[in-house]
Structure 1
Amino acid sequence: SKETGEDLGIFIKSIIHGGAAYKDGRLCVNDQMIAVNGESLLGRSNHSAMETLRRSMSSEGNARGTIQLVVLRGSKQTSSG
């Protein structure tokens, strides 16, 4: 945030070609993850949000082998010209 100088949240910077998110097709570059498996990431530091995501992806935290994400659609970057 501009107020604290701390990075907040998790934003999708790229999607791996051929990976699960690519194959699913719903996740887009610039989307913001706002919850993972029902746990809100809003207002959390990037570090805290990443820890929550890692825990959700671990075998202990994820018995079903799936992750539920809630994302806020990011703005599309357009080229002018």
Structure 2
Amino acid sequence: MKPMTDEALVTANPDLILVMSHGLESVGGVDGLLEEKPAIAVTTAGEHRRFVDMEDGTVLSFGPRSAEILDALARAVYAPESR
């Protein structure tokens, strides 16, 4: 694991960023996140506002619902219109 510095984030240039719902809420949504973390705004994900948020406990759980959660995540990433 390496810390995700601003420089590393810009270099990685993700086209989508997965965030936890409470974390996103804590900064005032996507607009607040982009304002608070300007490095995200210059990535492809930030420019196209491609963020998927999932409930903290859901995305961090590894239990009997894992298959259902992965399916929901895959739909959110690859087929958002089907949600």
The normalised TM-score by structure 2 is 0.26
Which structure's residues are more often helix, by fraction?
A: 2
The normalised TM-score by structure 1 is 0.26
